[in-house]
């Protein structure tokens, strides 16, 4: 016992810290007595106090607790998101009321008297600062955001405190998981807020996106409903129909792809997996109707690796079971890539090229080959007509563009309200930028930009 005690007393400060931290981690993880006996622990603690390094051990243990308390998992992300969005949707009438007031700012007054009158309306009637956020939903919203802010502080403190290799790997994993999920939460919230704030007035609108949205709402309501059944976010996400159009063009009116077309789609699927903002590969994305996660699973199966769980849905809806399947496939795919020195892109390319000849389009059918082919053709025709109409309005000078013709000014878009074909669509569609920024500020999205990047 004296020999062990002597060894403990002779170790370096760093090794003594690692010894004590390792003891407490062993107790936590293995739920045993730890790696030190009671007597050995007493000697180690006494020695740490003598050297005045016990506080550093305590800091590491505190950081460890903070990391586990602050872990922001995917389930929590989704629960908080749904809670907040429920309250926001209940208060949507207030949002619209204020957005209407803001939109008056785009009605350029003809003289000073009209300007003063308009400004007085905005000042006297606008509930900004009081009415809008003096509601029952803002209280739980703020409570949840305070909880998120506390998690962020925990993580930042943990990063500052942890400077020892013995805990770095686990800490890094937890911090990255939390960063990603908090980032995903605010991205979802930002997107949803933007979708809710339908009104004219954004200073600039992307021309292609404007064409997409105007075209979609020009479709008969029955067709809009059918598209929403195919993909629930189709109203706001042009990517899906754009990618379906790529496949449509590559099929070129035939029932199957050429070898060259297969290669092109394989490359597009491979590129779709990488998120440049998160700086990682994510397999929950789709390319058109094709789920990347199932392409990866097909590849793994060809290597003798089976992942349980039903195939994910073509309409991109998910369940708890799907989430577990996603996580299992993605984890296994990334491990396989690392162990075999192969890229995720190569896995997806190879998986697609193998599967496309073995019935991929029978399981996940593109619109061009489905019983919705006529609906898709109607969409393409409507989209092209809308683009042609806007192009003519731009040429006539009725629509103003900036940024080398890529963006339409909000003021000139507002003027289209005089045209019956566009009036209802525009009133329904475009949100006011100033109002959007105000709401985002109130909700607190932009406050976390530095942390998330």
- Taking only the tens place, the pLDDT of each residue in 191-248 is 665 555 433 344 567 888 888 988 898 898 899 999 999 998 888 889 999 999 999 9
Cα separation, 453 vs 440, whole angstroms: 18
Tokens encoding 202: 């954004």
Same domain, residue pair 386 and 360: no
Lowest mean pLDDT among 183-187, 361-365, 424-428: 424-428
Query: For residue 119, is it within any domain?
Result: yes
Most confident of 113-127, 275-289, 364-378: 364-378
Residues 233 and 372 in one domain: yes
More confident residue, 194 or 255: 255
Q: Among 9-18, 75-84, 160-169, where is mean pLDDT lowest? A: 160-169
Mean pLDDT along residues 349-374 = 94
- CB-based contact 95:198 (threshold 8 Å): no
Instruction: Establish if 253 belongs to a structural domain.
Output: no
Asked if the structure places residue 39 within a domain, the reply is: yes
Residues 90 and 187 occupy one common structural domain: yes
Q: Which of 57-66, 156-165, 309-318 has the highest mean pLDDT?
A: 309-318
Specify whether the CB–CB gap between 202 and 432 falls below 8 A: yes
| pLDDT for 285 beyond 70 | yes
Residue 243 in domain:
no
**Region of poorest pLDDT, from 168-177, 295-304, 326-335, 377-386:** 168-177
Higher pLDDT, 243 or 312: 243
For 132-272, list the strands marked E by DSSP: 204-206
Average pLDDT over residues 24-36: 80
Residue 433 falls within a domain, yes or no? no
Mean pLDDT of 47-68: 80
Q: Domain containing 274: what range?
A: 261-365
Q: Which one is predicted more confidently, 55 or 243?
A: 243
428 within domain boundaries: no
Q: 44 and 93: one domain?
A: no
Question: 326 with 377, same domain?
Answer: no
Q: Is 404 helix (H, G, I), strand (E, B) or coil?
A: coil
Token pair of 222, please?
């029955």
Q: CA–CA separation, 27 vs 24, rounded Å?
A: 5
- The DSSP output letter for 205 is E
323 Cβ contact list (under 8 Å, min separation 6)? 74
pLDDT for the residue 376: 95
Average pLDDT taken over every residue of the chain? 75
* Residue 64 belongs to some domain of the structure: no
191 shares its domain with 205: no
Indicate if the alpha-carbon torsion angle 69, 70, 74, 75 is positive or negative.
positive
Lowest mean pLDDT among 162-171, 332-341, 390-399: 162-171
Helix, strand, coil percentages (3-state) for the chain, rounded to 5, are 70, 5, 25
Residue 281: strand pairing partners: 274
- Where does residue 99 fall: left (phi above 0), alpha (psi -120 to 50 degrees), or beta otherwise? alpha
Q: Which run of H or of E encompasses 348?
A: helix 344-355
Cα separations (Å) of 102 from 79, 113, 188, 436?
32, 19, 24, 10
**192/205 same-domain check:** no
Q: From CA 331, how far away is CA 283, in angstroms rounded? A: 10
pLDDT of residue 449: 42
291 and 380 both lie in a single domain:
no
Whether 103 is covered by a domain: the verdict is yes
How many Å apart are CA 128 and CA 441, to the nearest integer? 12
**Residue 24 pLDDT level (bands cut at 50, 70, 90):** confident
**Do 220 and 283 lie in a common domain?**
no
pLDDT at position 221 = 87
Q: 330 and 375 share a domain?
A: no
Residues in the chain: 453
Please tell me whether residues 331 and 382 are part of one structural domain: no
Radius of gyration of the chain (CA): 28
Cross-strand bridge partners of residue 291: 286
Query: What is the arithmetic mean of pLDDT over 310-336?
Result: 87
Residues 86 and 185 in one domain: yes
Helix (H, G, I), strand (E, B) or coil at 115: helix
Q: How many domains does the chain have?
A: 4
Q: Are 386 and 218 in contact (CB under 8 A)?
A: yes
Give 128's pLDDT tier (boundaries 50, 70, 90). Answer: very low
pLDDT of residue 30: 74
């Amino acid at each position: 016992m004296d020999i062990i005690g002597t060894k403990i007393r002779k170790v370096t400060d760093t090794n003594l810290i690692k010894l004590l931290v390792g003891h407490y981690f062993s107790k936590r993880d293995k739920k045993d007595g730890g790696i030190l006996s009671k007597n050995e622990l007493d000697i180690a603690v006494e020695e740490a106090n003598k050297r005045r390094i016990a506080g550093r051990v305590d800091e590491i243990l505190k950081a460890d607790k903070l990391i586990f308390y602050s872990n922001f998992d995917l389930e929590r992300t989704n629960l908080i998101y749904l809670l907040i969005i429920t309250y926001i949707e209940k208060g949507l009438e207030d949002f619209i009321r204020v957005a209407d007031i803001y939109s008056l700012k785009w009605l350029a007054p003809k003289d000073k008297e009209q300007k003063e009158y308009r400004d007085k309306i905005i000042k006297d009637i606008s509930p900004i600062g009081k009415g809008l956020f003096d509601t029952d939903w803002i209280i739980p919203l703020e409570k949840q955001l305070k909880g998120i802010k506390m998690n962020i502080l925990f993580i930042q403190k943990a990063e500052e405190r942890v400077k020892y290799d013995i805990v770095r790997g686990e800490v890094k994993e937890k911090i990255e998981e939390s960063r990603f999920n908090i980032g995903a939460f605010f991205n979802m919230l930002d997107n949803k807020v933007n979708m809710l704030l339908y009104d004219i007035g954004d200073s600039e609108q992307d021309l292609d996106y404007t064409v997409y949205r105007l075209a979609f709402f020009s479709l008969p309501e029955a067709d809009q409903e059918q598209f929403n059944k195919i993909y629930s976010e189709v109203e706001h996400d042009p990517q899906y129909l754009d990618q379906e159009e790529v496949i449509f063009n590559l099929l070129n009116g035939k029932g199957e792809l050429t070898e060259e077309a297969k290669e092109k789609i394989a490359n597009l699927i491979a590129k779709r997996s990488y998120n440049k903002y998160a700086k990682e590969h994510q397999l929950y994305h789709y390319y058109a109707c094709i789920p990347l996660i199932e392409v990866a699973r097909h590849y793994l199966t060809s290597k003798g690796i089976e992942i349980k769980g039903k195939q994910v849905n073509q309409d991109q809806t998910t369940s708890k079971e799907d989430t577990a399947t996603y996580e299992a496939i993605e984890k296994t795919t990334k491990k396989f890539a690392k162990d075999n020195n192969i890229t995720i892109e190569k896995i997806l390319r190879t998986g697609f090229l193998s599967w496309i000849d073995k019935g991929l389009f029978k399981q996940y059918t593109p619109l061009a080959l489905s019983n919705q082919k006529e609906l898709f053709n109607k969409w393409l025709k409507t989209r092209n007509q809308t683009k042609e109409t806007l192009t003519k309005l731009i040429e006539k000078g009725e629509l103003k563009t900036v940024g080398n013709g890529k963006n339409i000014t909000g003021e000139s878009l507002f003027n289209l309200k005089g045209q019956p074909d566009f009036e209802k669509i525009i009133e329904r569609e475009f949100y006011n930028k100033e109002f959007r920024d105000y709401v985002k500020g109130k909700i607190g999205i932009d406050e976390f930009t530095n942390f998330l990047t």
